[in-house]
Amino acid sequence: MSRQLDLHWQRIEQHTKTYHSMTDTHNSLLQTESTNLAMTANLVSQLSQIIVNLPTAINTIVQHTVYQHTDAALDATIQFQADFLSSIERNLSASARYAAAHPELMPPRPSNNKRPKSSGRRRAASGAPAGNTQGLRARMRSTLRKVLKMD
């Protein structure tokens, strides 16, 4: 009987050691899973913040890019307009010089002494409208800023 008790005791000890080994392994796995779960929760939190802030960031970038490209396009348009007005002024000056040099080619003026009414616009010496490109540029930029709500 003593021998059977010893045999049972050894089996109980063996089962106890196996149980302790299994519980240690299980505890180790639980600790690893707990760490992984905490890291996943942190990652989800950070991604949520990024997703919440993404529309604002995209809006800011798009607004800035549109403003830059619009400003560049306005500058190019204003420069083209200034060049065009300068070209018209040169052509009118050349025409005036040619007319002064060859008065015989000009049609006779009507004899009535009525002067045409002025449109009220400023004119350069050549007769072309005087351009204030700096003022125009400032007004266009101001309007653009108001439209884009950049002020």
**Cα 28 to Cα 98: distance, rounded to the nearest angstrom:** 101
pLDDT tens track for 34-93: 999 999 999 999 999 999 999 999 999 999 999 999 999 999 999 999 999 989 989 988
- Between 33 and 126, the higher pLDDT residue: 33
Contact indicator for 97, 51 with CB cutoff of 8 Å: no
| Residues 6 or more apart whose Cβ sits within 8 Å of residue 129 | 85, 121, 122, 123
Q: Using the Cα atoms of residue 123, residue 127, residue 132 and residue 137 in order, give the sign of their dihedral.
A: positive
Residues in the chain: 151
Instruction: Supply the pLDDT for residue 151.
Output: 42
Spatial separation of the C-alpha atoms in residues 45 and 37, rounded to whole Å = 12
Looking at residue 121, its pLDDT comes to 53
In whole angstroms, give the CA distance from residue 2 to residue 84.
119
Q: How many CA atoms lie within 13 A of 28 on its CB side?
A: 6
pTM: 0.41
pLDDT of residue 139: 76
List pLDDT tens digits, range 90-138: 998 888 888 888 887 777 766 665 555 555 555 555 454 555 567 777 7
Torsion-angle region of residue 128: left (phi > 0), alpha (psi -120 to 50) or beta? Answer: beta
